[in-house]
A and B are shown apart, each in its own frame.
Chain A
Amino acid sequence: MKKTRALKAAFLPSLPILAGFLFLGITYGIYMRSQGFSFWYPFSMSLFVFAGSVEFVLVSLLQGAYAPLSVLLLTLMINARHMFYSISMLEKYEATGWKKFYLIYGLCDESFSINYAANIPEDVDPGWFYFFVTLLNHLYWVGGASIGAFLGNHLYLPTEGLEFVLTALLVVIFLEQWFKEEDHRLSLLGLGVTSLSLLLLGKEFFILGAMVILFLLLLIAWRKQWTPSKK
């Protein structure tokens, strides 16, 4: 009963991810097959790695020389932003029992965004809500990759631009935060610092750069005991 209610509550906010992950997952599966990998590669990579951008990068690395250390370092670099998600979820995921391991395991961009921003109904257990959001996202991603891997190149999708659904999701979550807050400085800081970092450092390093700057600025803010003004 408790679980069914949480699953129902989690399904609706997960719908944009269903669209986005199925589409991107199918693209990823097709791409891996076209590069000569068997079905099991996209299937197990989407299941175990569960970090889209790394999986795409791995496709070309797996065709090069054997270099496990480079894979490790590159993954740490691409996914460093996940540390920020964990820091932000420390309190929310604290009392979730055995589910905590899986919640952390599945903490991708989208699971973080939905679970952090969600207004969970009073009668729904937050732990189970987080769990089902994460599980559904995971299933959508593995499902998409498997469908794409199965169908290979025999699929025509008149869906150019559907990948924008993930941008739309992130923009809406940003706007929700924006309309909720009185003080927009943190939101603007995120936009500004990241844009600047992208301009200066380029696509490969800008997230790391932005993280370092945001981290330092917030440490200074903490030292000065600054808090955003509340509504």
Chain B
Amino acid sequence: MDTQQKIIMISMAVVGTMFTRFVPFVLFSGKRKAPDYILYLGQNLPPAIFGMLVIFSLKDVSFLRGTRGIPELIAILFIFFIHRWKRQMLLSISLGTFFYMFLIQFVF
């Protein structure tokens, strides 16, 4: 592949990404008001999306091989308790990450 072809390939990735981000806005904003069911989705999807993203970020964890996802599960439980206790996002995120790093570098 020459440089020009590589640039076209990369541009396709840009176009594809932007398509997924822009389409709802192009269809439903400004003069064309979003139909009822789209607004309903916009209001009710987010809790489900956050659940989806948690699983998405764990997709590469194997529960059958290696450490079997045990450090991830322990760290998530740890984050749950820290967050329920202090409700400080940055505190929970940083302690949770350090705890996970400690687990996989020294324990597992």
Contacts and interface: CB of A to CB of B under 8 A. Distances in A.
A88 to B, nearest CB: 5
A120 interface: no
B75 A191 contact: no
A181 B36 CA distance: 23
Nearest to B23: A83
A171 B2 CA distance: 43
Interface size class of B (residues with CB under 8 A): 35 or more
Contacts, number: 255
A35 B87 CA distance: 43
A177 B50 CA distance: 8
B51 A62 contact: no
A141 to B, nearest CB: 13
Interface in B42-82: 42, 44-60, 72, 75-76, 79-80
A149 B41 CA distance: 41
Contacts of B17: 49-51, 54, 75, 79, 82
A97 interface: no
Contact of A177 (B47, B92, B100): B47
A90 B42 contact: yes
Nearest to B16: A75
Interface residues of A, number: 95
Given A91-B39, A175-B80, A222-B37, A68 B97 contact: no
Q: Give the secondary structure class of A's interface.
A: helix
Nearest to B36: A222
A160 interface: yes
Contacts of A61: 9
A12 interface: yes
Contacts of B46: 88, 116, 177
Contacts of A80: 20
Interface string A62-83: 1001111101111110011111
B52 A187 contact: no
| Shortest 3 CB-CB contacts between residues of A and residues of B | A190-B51, A75-B16, A190-B48
